[in-house]
Amino acid sequence: MRKLFLLSAVFALTATSAFSQLINRCGTTESMNQLFLDNPGYREQLQQIDEFTNQFIANNPEGTRSVVNIPVVVHVVYNTTTENISDAQVLSQIEILNEDFRRLNADANETPAVFLGIAADCEINFCLAAQDPSGNATNGITRTSTTKTSFSSNNNVKFTAQGGKDIWDRSKYLNIWVCDLGSSLLGYAQFPGGPANTDGVVIHYKYTGDIGTATPPYQYGRSATHEVGHWLNLYHIWGDDGNGCNGSDQVADTPNQANETYGCPLPTIRISCTNGPNGDMYSNYMDYTDDGCMNVFSTGQKNRMQALFGVGGSRVSITTSNGCVPPGGGTCNVPAGLNATAITTTTATLNWGAATGAVSYNIQYKAVSSGTWIPTTSATTSKAITGLSASTLYEFQVQTVCASSSSAFSTSTNFTTSAPACTDAYEPNNSKGAAKPIAVGVDVFGLINVGTDKDFLSFANTVSQPNMELTLSSLPANYHLDLYDPSGVKIFASKTAGTADEVITNNTAVVGTYIARVYPANTSTFNASDCYTLNVQIGNSPFRTVEMAVPALGGEMTNIYPNPSNGNMVVEYSSISNSSVQLIAYDMMGRVVFSEVSFATEGTNSFNVNINNISTGIYMFEVRNGNEASRMKFSVAK
């Protein structure tokens, strides 16, 4: 939030909570205050950079900027083998920076809705250096053994003579030092315009990347995101003025905020400095929340960072650096050798071959049936993706990002996610009496493990919703589906051939417990390893009756008239044989209001039914023939 800017207040050292006395999320303020003492002209230099920034933003509206690629060298300075973090851990940090500064982070969807309108892709990429300042090939990582057991924010780690590692040319590289910063300091950075031999970012080895030594609650690499934000001219979001409301982060679209935030208050709205109703933007990378709570830069912050790379900007020289170009140059080639490994129901690892001149890679993937690509990035030649759907065909493409250009996207490579793990939690359930209860409205997975297996699954219609639909899908063999009413009578069956879905629609349901039976068409058509899926839906609106849902009856009721009636009516019933039948009427709560035994002959039968003392309302009439029944609604109007 842009407020009255008191430069001395912005850089004041504050300690606003007991927690901050234990963990110093960021030592940039302390380091800057020391630079002011050691370099009297630095304060004025920062003021000039801010004036340039404001003018640049005014003259260059959002949408006219290009992506900036920043070569990075990571100096690992270690005293123990644990501190000598792996190349993979360094690469994980570079990937996190790329995701966070391009808003490709997996937790971008956790940004509070009130701030989504200002959430920004900062259009800044980071790449590990491919050549050093002398033009030699490098992997962008230096390693220095030191006798120093720890460092602080005094910049000693930036000098070989003081047990650290000398800087690479700051006009061509972002220098990141990884070391032991003691028991409380997570990291610190130098703002633009400071001394050339200390320019860069320092991160504790315990809070670098998201693997290896990464330690909760700062295990997702956001310490580097925060400190690189400082290196790119971003202040703390609360303006470093203690608990007051007069400091400034010099950004117009971030809310005025009283102080830093620790832990993760989500989803609480915390209001300070009259910034209601939206409250503090503590999900911003420039606050002090836990790594899992940070997920956004604002558009105003993006504009401030991008100003550094405009003509005359403090860091414009880095845009012409060849630090990410291998010695000898080369073209920006399209990645080849695409494949997917480690495929599960919801995850996969996408792989490709290294491309000449690659700084990083852009990846996009989607379900083949979808029209929307999902973008992400990687600093390596693989990318683990999550949130996929089971048994789904996906495709992905990869693009090489070079120092000064990008390749085309590769052609698509397809992969299919695994089927859901088949864990049958309902056995034994081989009879109506042993039926296991299932939830309505969710997919239920079951297994037919032998040819004689039959699964009985019960579900309740509890609030007199008259319409239900059962769908049996993902069939690994030819299975059939039956439906039994609350009295135990089979009222419907679906017997589609092959592995097509079985569907039963019952729009005359009553309150009570129903039972679904799943069974193989015969003893040879079953699959002992793959699950079927059963889904039951119940509602007040009728489901569309489908042809696959056919009555399995000794006969069928064909008509009731008059309908509505006063309780005296004719019920027509077609029987396939001579047999005794039971005539039953009940209300929509399942209470019997009429019951009588009669005899049906083969063919069409007409039963005269007189129901005395029946009230106006809607009822159900049933003709039961042995263990099967036919039903039809009727109404009474008096």
Chain centroid, CA 327 distance in Å: 40
Average pLDDT over residues 42-60: 93
pLDDT > 90? residue 63: no
**Domain match, 585 and 630 both:** yes
Burial class (CB in 10 A: 0-12, 13-18, 19+), 392: middle
Q: How does pLDDT run across 155-169, given as a tens digit for each residue?
A: 999 999 999 999 999
Residue type, 273: C
Whether residue 112 is preceded by a cis peptide bond, meaning omega within 30 degrees of 0, is: no
Q: Does residue 527 form part of some domain?
A: yes
Give residue for tokens 């693009």. Answer: 399
Q: Are 206 and 89 in contact (CB under 8 A)?
A: no
DSSP 226-266: HHHHHHTTPPPTT-S-TT-S----S-SSSPP-SS---S--T
Q: Are 171 and 133 in contact (CB under 8 A)?
A: no
Q: Does residue 327 form part of some domain?
A: no
* CA separation for the pair 388, 298 (Å, rounded): 29
Q: Are 314 and 49 in contact (CB under 8 A)?
A: yes
Q: How does pLDDT run across 355-378, given as a tens digit for each residue?
A: 888 888 999 999 998 888 999 999
Q: Which range (243-257, 328-342, 535-549) has the least confidence?
A: 535-549
List own/partner pairs for 40-44 with CB under 8 A and 24 or more apart: 42/193, 42/194, 43/7
* CA separation for the pair 416, 393 (Å, rounded): 4
**Domain match, 103 and 238 both:** yes
**pLDDT confidence bin for 61, thresholds 50/70/90:** confident
Domain containing residue 90: CATH number: 3.40.390.10
Beta carbons within 10 angstroms of residue 74's beta carbon? 27
Q: What is the 3 state secondary structure string of 496-520?
A: CCCCCCEEEEECCCCCEEEEEEEEE
Helix axes 28-38, 42-59, angle to 10 degrees: 120
> What are the residues whose beta carbons fall under 8 Å from the beta carbon of 547, sequence distance 6 or more?
none
**Domain match, 174 and 294 both:** yes
Tokens of 258: 């009283």
pLDDT > 60? residue 53: yes
Provide the phi-psi class of 305: left if phi over 0, else alpha when psi is between -120 and 50, else beta. Answer: alpha
**Domain match, 168 and 132 both:** yes
* CA separation for the pair 72, 167 (Å, rounded): 12
**Domain match, 609 and 466 both:** no
**pLDDT confidence bin for 588, thresholds 50/70/90:** low
> What are the residues whose beta carbons fall under 8 Å from the beta carbon of 591, sequence distance 6 or more?
none
Q: Does residue 326 form part of some domain?
A: no
Q: Is 51 a catalytic residue?
A: no
Q: What is the pLDDT of residue 329?
A: 67
Q: What is the DSSP letter of 530?
A: E
Q: Of 194, 206, 201, whose CA–CA distance to 225 is shortest? A: 201
Q: Does residue 333 form part of some domain?
A: no
Quote the percentage of the chain above a pLDDT of 70: 92
Alpha helices in 298-355 (DSSP H): 299-306
Which strand (E) or helix (H) includes residue 92?
Answer: helix 87-101
**Domain match, 487 and 463 both:** yes
Q: Does residue 330 form part of some domain?
A: no
**Domain match, 87 and 189 both:** yes
Residue type, 403: A
Q: What is the pLDDT of residue 508?
A: 82
Averaging pLDDT over each range in 2-16, 256-270, 610-624, which range is the top one?
256-270
**pLDDT confidence bin for 204, thresholds 50/70/90:** very high
Residue type, 360: S
Residue type, 594: F
Burial 139-161 (b: 16+ CB within 10 A, else e): ebbbebebeeeebebebbbbeee
Q: Are 422 and 530 in contact (CB under 8 A)?
A: yes
Q: Which domain holds residue 54?
A: 7-320
Q: Point out the domain boundary residue: 509, 539, 569.
A: 539
**Domain match, 531 and 579 both:** no
Q: Of 35, 75, 70, whose CA–CA distance to 166 is shortest? A: 75
**Domain match, 522 and 576 both:** no
Q: What is the pLDDT of residue 6?
A: 29
* CA separation for the pair 200, 188 (Å, rounded): 9
pLDDT > 90? residue 249: yes
Distances (CA, A) of 529 to 421, 477, 498, 571: 9, 11, 18, 48
* CA separation for the pair 527, 478 (Å, rounded): 9
The three-state secondary structure class of 64 is: coil
Domain containing residue 389: CATH number: 2.60.40.10
Averaging pLDDT over each range in 88-92, 327-331, 504-508, which range is the top one?
88-92
Q: Are 569 and 609 in contact (CB under 8 A)?
A: yes
Into how many domains does the chain fold? 4
Q: Does residue 453 form part of some domain?
A: yes
pLDDT > 90? residue 128: yes
> Which segments of 88-167 are extended strands (E)?
124-128, 141-145
Q: What is the pLDDT of residue 17?
A: 35
**pLDDT confidence bin for 151, thresholds 50/70/90:** very high
**Domain match, 366 and 449 both:** no
Strand 382-385 and strand 455-461: pairing?
unpaired
Q: Partners of 348 in the beta sheet? A: 385
Q: Which range (169-173, 260-264, 317-321, 546-550) has the least confidence?
A: 546-550
Q: Which range (84-98, 207-221, 506-520, 542-556) has the least confidence?
A: 542-556
* CA separation for the pair 387, 346 (Å, rounded): 5
pLDDT > 50? residue 218: yes
* CA separation for the pair 621, 587 (Å, rounded): 9
Q: Is the dihedral of CA 433, 436, 438, 443 positive or negative?
A: negative
**Domain match, 263 and 383 both:** no
Q: What is the pLDDT of residue 2?
A: 36
pLDDT > 50? residue 550: no
Q: Which range (259-263, 369-373, 412-416) has the least confidence?
A: 369-373
Tokens of 565: 């009636």
Half-sphere exposure of 476 (CA within 13 A, CB side): 20
pLDDT > 50? residue 545: no
Q: What is the pLDDT of residue 265?
A: 92
Tokens of 251: 């950004």
* CA separation for the pair 54, 434 (Å, rounded): 74
Q: What is the DSSP letter of 69?
A: E
Q: What is the pLDDT of residue 22?
A: 63
Average pLDDT over residues 394-399: 95
pLDDT > 80? residue 630: no
Q: Does residue 282 form part of some domain?
A: yes
Q: Are 397 and 403 in contact (CB under 8 A)?
A: no
Chain centroid, CA 304 distance in Å: 29
Q: What is the pLDDT of residue 64?
A: 52
**Domain match, 531 and 569 both:** no
Q: Point out the domain boundary residue: 504, 539, 574.
A: 539
Q: Of 148, 193, 195, 157, whose CA–CA distance to 177 is shortest? A: 157
Average pLDDT, the chain: 87
Q: Point out the domain boundary residue: 539, 570, 605.
A: 539
Average pLDDT over residues 228-244: 92
Domain containing residue 578: CATH number: 2.60.40.3080
> Catalytic pick from 83, 95, 99, 227?
227
Beta carbons within 10 angstroms of residue 434's beta carbon? 13
> What are the residues whose beta carbons fall under 8 Å from the beta carbon of 61, sequence distance 6 or more?
none
Give residue for tokens 């003709």. Answer: 623
Burial 474-511 (b: 16+ CB within 10 A, else e): bbbbbbbbbbbbbeebbbbbbebeebeebbbbbebbbb
Tokens of 166: 């000398």
Q: Does residue 384 form part of some domain?
A: yes
Q: What is the pLDDT of residue 421?
A: 66
Q: How does pLDDT run across 271-289, given as a tens digit for each residue?
A: 999 998 999 999 999 999 9
Average pLDDT over residues 535-558: 60
Q: What is the pLDDT of residue 237?
A: 95
**pLDDT confidence bin for 322, thresholds 50/70/90:** confident
